[in-house]
Amino acid sequence: MLKIGVLASGRGSNFQAIIDAIENKNLKASIEILITDNPSAFAIERAKRHNIKHIFINPKEFATKDEFFKKVADELKSCGVELVILAGFMRIVRKPLVDEFPNRIMNIHPALLPSFPGLHGQKQALDYGVKISGCTVHFVDEGMDTGPVIIQAAVPVMPDDTEDTLSERILSFEHRIYPEAVRLFSEGRLVINGRTVKIKEQHGVPSNIVNPPFRQE
C-alpha cells in the first residue's frame, strides 16, 4: 500500500479529495503525515477528523529555506513516505526535498500548464481571454510549476466568469484528477522519459489519455 505524505498551507480541499478516495476504496494508499507551514491551516482540522498525524514546521525557525526543506524531508522519511503530495502548499519546493524524493512529489495547478504558472492561474486565464482553462497534475522539480505533466483536465471559460466562479469550476475537476494521478502512481503505471510522462496500459485498456473525459455534473 502506497504511503503518502501531504504538505499544505491552507484549507486542503485536495487533501480531502485524496482522503475521500482512500476511504471510498478507490485508492489503495495511506496518508502517513500532514505537514503544514501554517498553524492555522484548515487542513489540520481535516487531519484531526480522519486521525492523520499532523505537524506544524515553522519556516521562521530555520536560517535558510534549504534547512526548512531538509527538516520537512527528514519528517517525511521518518514516516516511510513514498509519495509526497502538495495540496495548496504555498512554497516553491527546494533542492533538499526534491533530491530526497526525485519524481515522487506531485502538485496540482489550476491552469493548463505550461500556460499561466505561479499564483492566480485562474485570474491570469481570464485576463488573457482564453476560452478553455483547466488544471494540471505534475511532478515537482525546483522550478515554479515546471515539472513533467502527468494528467490534465480542460474546463470551459464562460463569458460571465469571475475569478471565483472559474476557480470553483476548475476545483471540481482538481478533486477528480489528483486522486487519479496518485492511483496511477500507486499502480506503477507512470513512466517518465525526460519531460514526457506516459501511462502504461492495464488489462489491455489504453490509458495514455492525459485529458480524461470527465464531465461536469
* CA distances (Å), origin 79, targets 1, 30, 42, 61, 165: 14, 11, 22, 22, 38
Residue 94's CB is within 10 A of a number of other CB atoms, namely: 18
User: Residue 159: helix, strand or coil by DSSP?
Assistant: coil
Question: Do 66 and 95 form a contact (C-beta atoms < 8 A)?
Answer: yes
CA pair distance 39, 43, nearest whole angstrom: 10
- Using the structure block, give the residue that is written with the C-alpha cell 515522487: 104
Q: Are strands 105-109 and 132-139 parallel, antiparallel or unpaired?
A: antiparallel
Catalytic residue among 109, 138, 175, 203: 109
Is 109 a residue of the active site? yes
Active site residues: 109
